[in-house]
Structures are given as C-alpha cells and as structure tokens.
C-alpha cells in the first residue's frame, strides 16, 4: 500500500467548500485558475506519491545522524529533496520578485498537506524554509532579501527557526542568547538553542538560521528580543557560501518520532549575524514566521490523518477475520466501519478548516481587508491545534484498525502516530494555541467568531429545506457555541484559560459540521459526501455539548486542591 | 523522579470505595485482614519502587533479543524477576493447595497495578503465569496440576498463552494448528503461533505453553478447538525440566513499545503436549484464562496512568516557565493544572472500577452467588477497555505536560505511551471488549447493568443532602444511561455493535463519577478527594451525553457509504 494524493478531494474542497474561486476575482491571484490549480495539485501529488513517500519508512528505520559535527540525512532524503527543489515545490507562494511563483497560500497549504502525508520528517525542511521566506519578505532589508530569498526559494539553501533554549520554551521571553554589535553592521551572536529542526542538512549548500537573541540594551522579556540571520556559511562577495560561521550542531535528540528529521542542539559562539527587522522587534518578525508556520503544522497533522486513513482503509479491505458479508473483510464489522468512517469524516472536516484558513490569509493579502485578516487570525490556532490533534487521534485509530499488526513497526501505522505526536507540541503547544484563541483572538470581543458563526447559521438556514436533519443540529450547535462565546469574552483570563482547550475543540466541531454540510449541499443533498456529513453531524458534532460544559466551568474549583493535596490524593 | 507505590490511595479505595471489607466476612477470605492487606501492599510496593522500576528504562533502550533461538532478556530483568519470584509475588491469589497464598484477586489486582507502573514489559511475564495458573487450576487433570502449579506459583517456571495465528487473530476459531494423538496419552502439536508474549525467558527453568490446536476430529470454528500444555522442556520422571521439546522461537517482533518483553513467533513441530480440559473444550478453558487476564490487562493501563501521572506532576512542579504565582512552576498554569488534575481524577476513577471488578470476582468465588459472578462478568470488559484507554490517554497527556521534553525518549514519558498502546489491542481488542459488553454481557436483558445502576442511584440519593451539586448530575447520568441500556437491549446486534465503544465508555463515565462520589462521602464531603470528585463530575462526566447520542444512532447510516464510496470520498 502506497500513498495516493487526494487530488479529487482537494479539488472538491477548493471549488465547493472553501470558495477558492473567489480568490480568482482578486487582481493578486487572478492567474490561479482551475487549470493552474489542477496542474499544481496533480504534479505535486505525483511527486509526493512517487518520490517522497518511498523515503518515509527508510527515514524512520535509519535516522539522520551527526558525523563530525555535520548532519548526515536519512537514506534517499537528498534525492527526494532535490526533486522537491528542482520542481519548484519548496515554496510556491513565495513572491515572484525573488523567483517565486506568487501562488496563493491556499495552494501551498494543499501541497504541504500532501507532502506531510508522504514524509513528515523530510517535509519539515521546506516547511521551515517557507516560514523563513515569509519572515524575510516581511521584515528583512532589501540587501538580505536579494541575497537570501532567491536561494531559499530555489531550495539551494534551507532555513531554520532558533527560538527555544533550555530555560526558554513556551516562555520565549526568558531567552538568554546575546547579540553584540561588531561595529561593521554585523552582530556576534552567542548562545545555545535547542530543538532546532533541520539545524543542518547535507543536501543544501547553506543553512540559514534565524536566531532570536538579545542586544546589550535589550530589556528583559519579549520586548528586548531581536532577530538575526546567522548563516552556516558566510556568503562571499558573489553571494556563494563561503567560510564557516562560528556555530555548530552539538548533538541530535533521540526522539519518539520524526527520526528522519535531525533535531539539533545548536551552539552559537560569536557567530556573525545580520539584524532582521527592527532592534528589539524580533518577536514581531518571529510571529510573522510562526503564524503561517502554525497553519503549516496543522497541515502536517492533516497529512498524517490522510495517510493513516488510507493505510487503515486498505488494511480493513484486505484483512479477513470473522464471518461477515459484503467484501468478507473486516470493513464489514460495525466497529471497524465506525473507525474508518470516523477517520474519513474527521480528515475531511479539519482539512476544510485549514483550507478556509488559507483562503482567509490569501483574501487578506489580496484585498487588505481587516475582516479577512481577523478571520485568518482566528482560524490559525484552530487549524494548528485541531489539525494536529486529529492527526494524532486518527493515527491512533489507524493503529487500532490494524489490531496486533498496528503495534508492529514494519506495518508503518505506528510511525504515523509517533511522527505526528510532536506537531501537538512544537510551534506553540496546542494548549498555547487554545490560550491564543481565547485571549488574543478574542480581543475583538468575539467579533471575528460571531462573523464566522453567522455564516455557519446562514448555511444551516439555507439547507433547512433540503437537509433538515443535518441543518438543525448545526444551527443549534452554532447557537450554543455563540452563547458560550458570549459568556467566555466576559470572563477573566484565568477562567478562559481553564477551558480553552475544550473551547477550541468545540469550535472545530461546529466548523467541521458546517463544512460537511456545505459538501452535502454541493452534492445536492444525496450521495457519499452527504453520507459522510451525516455521520459527522450525528455522531461527532454532539461532542461540542460536553466540551461547552467544560468551558463554562471556567477555573471554578480548578485550584481547590493545593499542590500538596494533588500530590497526596 | 522515581515511581512511588500509591499505597495510601489503594488502601483508601479498598476500605472506603469498593468495600473490600466485606470479603473478610466470608469464610474464604476471612484472613485478609487490614494488617495482612497493609503488609502485602507495603511489601509489594517496596519491591516495585526499589527493584522493578529501575529496570524499566534499560529494558526499553536495550530490548530483549533472540540469540541462537533463545531469548536473552533485557538488562536487569533476570534479577528483578528473581526478586518477584522469591518474594512470592508471581501470583498471591494462587490456591494454597499448591503452594499459593490463596489471597483475594483484589490484592493481586492492586499488585498488578503497581508492578505495571514499575515495568510493564517485565510484569507481563508473571501476568501470563497468573492466567495459566488459573486455567490449570480450573481445567487440568490432577497430575498436571501437581506437576505444574507449584513450579508456576513459585516462579521457577513461567506460562504463556498461544492463541493467535497469522490468519486467526480476533477470530480464534479460524486457527489451523493441529494436535495428533501419540497413542500414549500425549499429543503431537504442530503449527505456527504469533504474538506470543514471553515465548521464551532466560530467567526461568521452563516455559509452559498453553496452546490452542485442533484434534483430527475437531470441527471447524471455535467448537473444535482443544487446549494443550506444551512445555519447552519435557519434565523428567522427577518433574525437573528434561529434554527440549520440538518447538522453537522463530523470531521476535520489532514493536512500538514493551521492548523489554519478547513477542515471539513460535513454531511447534510435532511438539509433545498434554490435553487440558475436555477434547474440543479448549475455548472454555481459554476463557477462564482470559477473563481474569482481561482485568489484569486493564490494570496494566491503570498502572501506566499512575506512573505517567506521577511523572507529569513531578515535572509540572519542577519546571518554571512564564510568570505565575504560587510555586512558580508550570502547575500554576490553568491548562497544565487541568491536565494534571485530569490525570489524577481519571486514574482514581478507573482504578476504582477495576478494584470493584476484583471484589466482585472474589465475592463470586467466596459466596458462589450468581449476582456477584454477573457483576464480575459485566465489569471485566469495562475494566479492560477503559483501563487501557485511560492508560494510553493519560500517557499522552503526560507527554503534553512535558512539552518538548515529552517527545525526547530519555525523558521516559513517551515510553509509557508506547508501552501501554498494545494493551488496547491484545487480550481482545477494546472494540471486542465493547462487543462483549453489549452482546454476551447483556444476554440477561440488562439485569446486571440495572443492578449496578441501582447502586449508583442509591448512593446519589444518599449524598443528595451532603453534596447536592455532585449527587444530582450522577443521578441524572445514571438515569440517562439506564434509558440508553433499555433501548440497547431491544436492538439488533448490528445496532448494538455500531455504538458499543461509546456505550462502554459512557458506562465507565457513570461508574467513575459514582466511585468519586463514594470517596467524597467517605471524606465527609469536604477535602481533596471531594475536590477531585467535583472535578471529575463537573468536567468529565458530561461526556456521557455525547457518547449516548452515538449509541442511540445504532447502525443507522453506518453502511450508507459503499466500500467504493468510502475509498472515493
């Protein structure tokens, strides 16, 4: 069983569910027609199926290693990466001015989804480069842009993000890395960074580190942090990689998953760096990089959900066990059918959320309208947290569908679960995503959420005649959720945070049901997509109620047990 | 951070929640007084903390291997196993007639819980021996009992279960292994068995395989299967391990977890075996072995939930990140507090279910009353499936509490999740447990379930004055669940199976809330156990509603999508 790119599903979602078509009415994306979209999806899908997916198991079995301070990548990665780079697939949404295709982020999102299905460990490399391209395009000087962007976009060089330090993880503001001016416009960057994904790679000519560090006059906390470009090799006068910079990979982590992706401890020892953005403005620049990276990480979860679903379905169709009718395979058992259908329905729902998020980003970019930007900002933590939660949950369901075979590593089902697990943690843990949703993303008093719920309810109203049994539960759920939101925005932060994870998931339940309904309507209210929508709405949507019950508890009683009591009971 | 045996918690549960005291009023268990109980728990706990827990990480890092056809166990396992055997801890519930202590299964359950926390891979060895002791005690001839039981109880020999074959997993009746009479009362057993846990061990003098195979006149399906004792070494005239039998370990599986536990492919090539129980009565004998083994596997989940909780709490108390009050550690963050408190509350709830299950087994044994036996039979699939589901969910939450550190293998948090994952699959997948609950365990028309719900409601009634905010939601939930049960028992099997996993979990939610309430009442309605009960009842119990919504869908719409359509959408 090999991965098959879900081109038809992506095309259906783009055209009928997330209204990708409206991008074409903007000047910026007027060229992203159906034929271009089709060609992009088809070609990228083919690359994922034929070139990238085959290196996924080898990368797990033979992890990347560190030899003499240099990363030696897993078998086949170099060739697969070169195919990505040569095909122009590192970042199709990169600006045309620097050699990019200037395509919508939405298409990039679909490509990231497919590449993640094929090989999460390898895909992380271009994903980080995408984030760097975006950060540089938004914040770097023209010189830096001119020097770095074409190389990053072509995939000749790759990018990394250096935020975390041993004592500064979720609390980035606690970092201690320093940057001292060298007097020539450059800075000497010193410090240790951990969890640096693809901190080195043997298939690119240079590795470009974006490093957060504090200038001598930087205040404590996040407001005193600046961002620096610190390349592994210092570009020479021609822009070619020259002498080695004062930095090194100290060690690689031994991890639960993504064995093919080297997770590095990096040491910067007075390494030469160039300021990106304003002095002390590093966090703002980093957030640019992180915001779309969060959508990208959400797509990693979705890609794994897709791959796990394909694998589980194939097994369920092939494995005979017990007396059943139909195909004679275990897919005929009610509980197996439930699991596989759940995987299908969940993957569809969260993929729709992520693509709607991407469309909002593109519309914000194309129109400059604040409403679109607010929509994108609202959906980003949901795409990230829910995408990765569903990715992990579906990978675990996939293991269960395989029975005993699921626990055997050669099967590959377990690898999906191990690989995707980190996506719930990195790029801001899913708890932090949920805090972002109920705090920063509700600073508008809930306006962006209400605008989205208005659309959900309008669609339910419109479907009331055709599909009353689907429309009504969604309308009710949206109303419940709206009331919960009205309650939430009136609460203190501690009360919001106590139920934030449940709130985010409840939101995703309502949205998932909504996109399923749109799919059913596009199908005319009858057929397989309607069947899948019905499954989701009847069996999965009801979860929102118990989630809202948790939300409404707030922090009530949460601190009743003292720390000592928590240890004692 | 090392494991601390939860002696106080176990004692509290036994004395105040599951009414272990009533066992002492029976003749059979009159000697299991508080002092004996305390001594047993304390000594076993000490062994787990000091001797077993230290081999857990080494066993993961240096798995058991196969060398020249023999298993070489992980570092330290042999010494730890000998301490288990010499202390008499292999099976404290074994019959006194053959050298056992004849203690209640309830105490064995508490010990299994602690040993699973300490090292799941190693604990699997005595757990399988326990099942074999039980099967032999119930079904074997006096000669076999006299020869094998004392050696198994002392831990000199260990036991295995040989059911699964490549084409016969959940469908045991499909097995093809054969047994031909040798004419001297023995049989020649031939066939391949897979997933054989501890199929060989280098720290015992003999390995005793209980093998399911078909006699020449055995009908197809489960009714033609017989059970055989097939020892690795044939006992000589003195009962000592003699010449090697015609069987071998062909290979070990490369697994997601429990690396220390060798999972063997076994080849029996006309190996000498002795019939256990009746000809063609193998399934009945196997079910004896499996029933209590299912409770044992549930305890594996609970043990991992406990260990993961201890580790997560310790980390949350130690790790500083962000500005918070109190301890200054991440435990003060609302979402971390939520996760850790969830771990505490869930572990308590499912442990209570398993101990109540064990008490019912013991009361059935001591009194012979059918009601206790029905209670035990009803609770067994819940203990197994919910115990292992919670074990895995809590291990995953534990990873999340650790943030990035959780993904690094050295931390040990990921090992819990990898190890416990198989418990949801083996000994009958959790889907099969749920099918057992809604089919076989409801053949009484729901009588056993209603009897238990009567107790739940009576306790809620009794608590209505003291703790109205806890009693009322439980009463309502029990009523909802009773109505769902009344509906369920009227349905066709397919409709029951479609929602069986949700039904089992909903049942566990109601029972968990009930036992939390008993704990709160025992505390007088105020204090940390009451706080924990409130957390569970307000935030976790509400899940039962969405689960019941799933149950009530039955198979409606589940097969609407054809297999082709499932592949296409």
Interface check for B467 against chain A (CB to CB < 8 A): the answer is no
Average of per-residue pLDDT across A63-92: 97
CA-nearest of A78, A80, A87, A110 to A11 is A110
pLDDT at A410 over 90: yes
Is B426's CB within 8 Å of A435's CB?
no
Structural domains of chain B, count: 1
Please tell me the predicted confidence (pLDDT) of residue B168. Answer: 92
d(CA B270, CA B179): 8
Token representation of residue B515: 């036992």
pLDDT at A304 over 60: yes
Within 8 A by CB and 6+ apart from A60, the residues are A121, A257, A259, A260, A409, A415, A418, A419
Interface check for A243 against chain B (CB to CB < 8 A): the answer is no
Q: How many Å lie between the alpha carbon of B465 and the closest alpha carbon of chain A?
A: 20
Regions of chain B with pLDDT less than 70: 1
With respect to residue B499, please indicate whether it lies within any of the assigned structural domains.
yes
With respect to residue A519, please indicate whether it lies within any of the assigned structural domains.
yes
Please tell me the predicted confidence (pLDDT) of residue A238. Answer: 95
Q: Name which of B566, B567, B568 to mutate to probe chain A: the one with the most chain A Cβ atoms within 10 A of its Cβ.
A: B566
Nearest CA in chain B to A432: B335
Q: Which residues pair with A214 in a beta bridge?
A: A178, A225
Which residues of B does the annotation mark as catalytic? 427
Q: Which residues pair with B188 in a beta bridge?
A: B180, B272
Residues of B in contact with A534 (CB under 8 A): 557, 560
Of B320, B422, B561, the CB nearest to A528: B561
pLDDT digits 0-9 by tens, B86-111: 999 999 999 999 999 999 999 999 99
Is A403's CB within 8 Å of B429's CB?
yes
- Please list, residue by residue across A493-514, b when 16 or more beta carbons sit within 10 angstroms of its beta carbon and e when fewer do: eebbbbbbbbbbbbbbbbbbbb
Of A170, A255, A399, the CB nearest to B421: A399
pLDDT at A351 over 80: yes
Average of per-residue pLDDT across A157-170: 94
Within 8 A by CB and 6+ apart from B443, the residues are none
Q: How many Å lie between the alpha carbon of A20 and the closest alpha carbon of chain B?
A: 19
Q: B residues 182-221 near A, CB within 8 Å? A: 194-195
Side-chain half-sphere exposure of B555, counting CA atoms within 13 A: 15
Interface check for B543 against chain A (CB to CB < 8 A): the answer is yes
Which range marks the domain in which residue A514 is found?
Answer: 436-569
pLDDT digits 0-9 by tens, A9-53: 999 999 999 999 999 999 999 999 999 999 999 999 999 999 999
Share of chain A above pLDDT 70, in %: 100
Q: Is B175 left (phi over 0), alpha (psi -120 to 50) or beta?
A: beta
Residues of A in contact with B409 (CB under 8 A): 254-256
d(CA B432, CA B287): 14
With respect to residue A174, please indicate whether it lies within any of the assigned structural domains.
no
Is B406's CB within 8 Å of A424's CB?
no
Q: Of these residues, A306, A346, A365, A427, which one is catalytic?
A: A427
Residue with tokens 């094998």: B148
Of B341, B414, B569, the CB nearest to A344: B569
Nearest CA in chain B to A310: B567
d(CA A544, CA A527): 26
Please tell me the predicted confidence (pLDDT) of residue A1. Answer: 53
With respect to residue B35, please indicate whether it lies within any of the assigned structural domains.
no
With respect to residue A554, please indicate whether it lies within any of the assigned structural domains.
yes
With respect to residue A444, please indicate whether it lies within any of the assigned structural domains.
yes
pLDDT digits 0-9 by tens, A262-301: 999 999 999 999 999 999 999 988 887 787 899 999 999 9
**What pTM, to 2 d.p., does this model score?**
0.98
d(CA B393, CA A392): 12
Of B9, B334, B562, the CB nearest to A498: B334
Interface check for A505 against chain B (CB to CB < 8 A): the answer is no
Interface check for A325 against chain B (CB to CB < 8 A): the answer is no
Within 8 A by CB and 6+ apart from B31, the residues are none
Q: A residues 338-367 near B, CB within 8 Å? A: 338-341, 344, 348
Interface check for B97 against chain A (CB to CB < 8 A): the answer is no
Residues of B in contact with A501 (CB under 8 A): 335, 338
CA-nearest of A130, A139, A95 to A111 is A130
Please tell me the predicted confidence (pLDDT) of residue A148. Answer: 98
Of A174, A425, A566, the CB nearest to B406: A425
> ∠ at Cα B334 (B328, B337), nearest 5°?
80
CA-nearest of B529, B544, B412, B424 to B478 is B544
pLDDT, averaged across chain A:
97
Q: What is the three-class DSSP state of B431?
A: helix
Interface check for B410 against chain A (CB to CB < 8 A): the answer is yes
Token representation of residue B304: 């991992």
With respect to residue A271, please indicate whether it lies within any of the assigned structural domains.
no
**Cβ-based neighbour number of residue B237 at 10 Å:** 6
CA-nearest of B364, B487, B343 to B416 is B343
Supply the angle between the helices A105-118 and A282-318 in degrees, to the nearest 10. 50
d(CA B547, CA B498): 12
DSSP state letter for B203: T
Interface check for A558 against chain B (CB to CB < 8 A): the answer is yes
Nearest CA in chain B to A562: B528
Interface check for B418 against chain A (CB to CB < 8 A): the answer is yes
Is B538's CB within 8 Å of A553's CB?
yes
Within 8 A by CB and 6+ apart from B206, the residues are B151, B156, B157, B158, B231, B232, B233, B235, B241
pLDDT digits 0-9 by tens, A199-242: 999 999 999 999 999 999 999 999 999 999 999 999 999 999 99
A315 band by pLDDT with thresholds 50, 70 and 90:
very high
With respect to residue B443, please indicate whether it lies within any of the assigned structural domains.
yes
Q: Which string of DSSP letters, residue by residue, matches B491-555?
A: S-HHHHHHTHHHHHHHHHHHHHHHHHHHHHHHTTS-SHHHHHHHHIIIIITTHHHHHHHHHHHTT
Nearest CA in chain A to B519: A569
Residues of A in contact with B545 (CB under 8 A): 542, 545-546
Interface check for A121 against chain B (CB to CB < 8 A): the answer is no
Interface check for A180 against chain B (CB to CB < 8 A): the answer is no
Write the CATH number for B546. Answer: 1.20.120
DSSP state letter for A102: -
């Amino acid at each position: 069983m090999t991965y098959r790119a879900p081109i038809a599903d992506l095309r259906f979602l783009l055209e009928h569910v997330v209204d990708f078509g409206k991008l074409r009415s903007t000047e910026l994306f007027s060229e992203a027609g159906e034929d271009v979209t089709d060609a992009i999806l088809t070609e990228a899908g083919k690359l994922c199926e034929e070139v990238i997916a085959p290196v996924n198991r080898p990368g797990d079995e033979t992890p990347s290693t560190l030899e003499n301070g240099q990363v030696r990548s897993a078998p086949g990665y170099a060739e697969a990466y070169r195919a990505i780079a040569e095909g122009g697939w590192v970042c199709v949404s990169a600006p045309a001015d620097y050699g990019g295709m200037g395509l919508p982020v939405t298409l990039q999102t679909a490509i990231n989804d497919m590449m993640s299905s094929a090989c999460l460990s390898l895909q992380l490399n271009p994903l980080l480069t995408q984030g760097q391209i975006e950060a540089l395009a938004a914040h770097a000087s023209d010189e830096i842009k001119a020097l770095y962007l074409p190389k990053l976009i072509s995939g000749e060089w790759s990018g990394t993000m250096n935020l975390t330090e041993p004592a500064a993880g979720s609390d980035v503001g606690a970092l201690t890395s320093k940057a001292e001016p060298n007097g020539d416009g450059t800075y000497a960057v010193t410090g240790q960074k951990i969890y640096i994904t693809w901190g080195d790679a043997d298939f690119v000519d240079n590795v470009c580190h974006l490093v957060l560090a504090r200038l001598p006059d930087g205040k404590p906390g996040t407001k005193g942090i600046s961002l620096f470009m610190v390349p592994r090799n210092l570009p020479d006068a021609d822009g070619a990689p020259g002498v080695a910079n004062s930095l090194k990979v100290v060690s690689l982590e031994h991890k639960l998953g993504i064995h093919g992706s080297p997770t590095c401890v990096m040491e910067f020892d007075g390494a030469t760096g160039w300021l990106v953005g304003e002095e002390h403005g590093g966090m703002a620049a980093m957030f640019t990089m992180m915001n779309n990276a969060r959508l990208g990480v959400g797509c990693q979860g979705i890609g794994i959900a897709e791959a796990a679903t394909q694998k589980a379905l194939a097994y369920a169709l092939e494995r005979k066990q017990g007396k059943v009718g139909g195909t004679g395979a275990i897919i005929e058992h009610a509980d197996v059918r439930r699991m596989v259908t759940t995987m299908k329905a969940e993957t569809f729902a969260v993929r729709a959320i992520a693509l709607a998020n991407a469309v909002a980003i593109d519309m914000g970019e194309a129109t400059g309208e604040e409403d679109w930007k607010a929509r994108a900002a609202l959906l980003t933590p949901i795409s990230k947290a829910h995408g990765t939660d569903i990715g992990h949950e579906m990978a675990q369901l996939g293991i269960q569908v395989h029975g005993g075979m699921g626990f055997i590593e050669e099967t590959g089902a377990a690898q999906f679960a191990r690989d995707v697990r980190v996506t719930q943690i990195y790029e801001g843990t899913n708890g932090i995503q949920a805090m972002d949703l109920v705090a920063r993303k509700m600073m508008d008093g809930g306006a962006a959420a209400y605008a989205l719920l208005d659309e959900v309810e309008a669609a339910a109203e419109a479907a009331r005649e055709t599909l009353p049994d689907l429309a009504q539960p969604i309308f009710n759920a949206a109303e419940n959720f709206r009331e919960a939101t009205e309650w939430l925005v009136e609460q203190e932060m501690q009360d919001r945070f106590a139920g934030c994870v449940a709130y985010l998931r409840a939101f995703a339940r309502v949205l998932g049901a909504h996109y399923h309904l749109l799919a059913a309507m596009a199908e005319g209210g009858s057929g397989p997509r309607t069947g899948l929508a019905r499954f989701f709405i009847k069996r999965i949507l009801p979860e929102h109620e118990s989630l809202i019950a948790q939300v409404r508890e707030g922090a009530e009683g949460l601190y009743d047990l003292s720390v000592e009591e928590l240890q004692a009971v």
